[in-house]
């Protein structure tokens, strides 16, 4: 049965129970006869059972409806212009770090003993921040064992790969 049909049946049962009480009132009785009281109790038990069944049916229908709907977005969109919740500040720090590392390597190369270049205090500070000793004659570079990835849009297509193979 649908919830609508169950509700209609519940209303009919409630009306029957009300008729029993109304009849006793019309007969000017304060108490119901034993058979009337038993009928009234049965009707109310059935009404209570229908109420529980309707509640369960509605709960299941709500669950089914929720499962059928597409899920909503779980994350907040990024804010334009930065903010604490975006990756903008982290990307800017990373880019600044890469630029400083490149500049420090250039400075170290310029400061070779035979070049005559004299480091400024800012140059020395940058070299030390990047872990390069200004007076060192050697520079240790550690490269990743993972292959470098091309940025998006810079990936070679099949024709450029074929051309590269033919040159070898």
Q: What is the pLDDT of residue 156?
A: 59
The overall pTM is greater than 0.75: no
Cα(109)–Cα(150) distance, integer angstroms: 27
Is 60 inside any structural domain? yes
Is 145 inside any structural domain? no
Q: What is the pLDDT of residue 34?
A: 92
Q: What is the pLDDT of residue 70?
A: 80
* Residues 35, 37, 40, 42, Cα dihedral to 10°: -70
Q: What residues in the chain have per-residue pLDDT under 50?
A: 82
Number of domains the chain contains: 2
Range of the domain at 121: 91-134
Tokens standing for residue 82: 């930065």
Q: What is the pLDDT of residue 165?
A: 60
The verdict on 8 and 60 lying in the same domain is yes
The verdict on 63 and 7 lying in the same domain is yes
């Amino acid at each position: 049965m649908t919830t609508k049909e169950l509700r209609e049946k519940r209303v009919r049962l409630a009306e029957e129970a009300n008729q029993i009480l109304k009849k006793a009132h019309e007969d000017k009785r304060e108490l119901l006869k034993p058979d009337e009281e038993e009928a009234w109790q049965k009707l109310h038990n059935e009404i209570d059972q229908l109420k529980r069944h309707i509640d369960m049916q509605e709960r299941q229908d709500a669950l089914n409806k929720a499962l059928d709907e597409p899920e909503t977005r779980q994350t907040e969109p990024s804010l334009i212009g930065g903010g604490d919740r975006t990756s903008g500040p982290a990307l800017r720090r990373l880019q600044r770090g890469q630029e400083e590392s490149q500049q420090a390597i250039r400075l170290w190369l310029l400061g070779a003993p035979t070049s005559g270049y004299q480091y400024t205090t800012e140059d020395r500070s940058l070299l030390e921040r990047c872990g390069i000793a200004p007076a060192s004659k050697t520079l240790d570079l550690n490269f990743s064992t993972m292959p470098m990835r091309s940025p998006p849009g810079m990936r070679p297509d099949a024709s450029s790969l074929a051309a590269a193979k033919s040159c070898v």
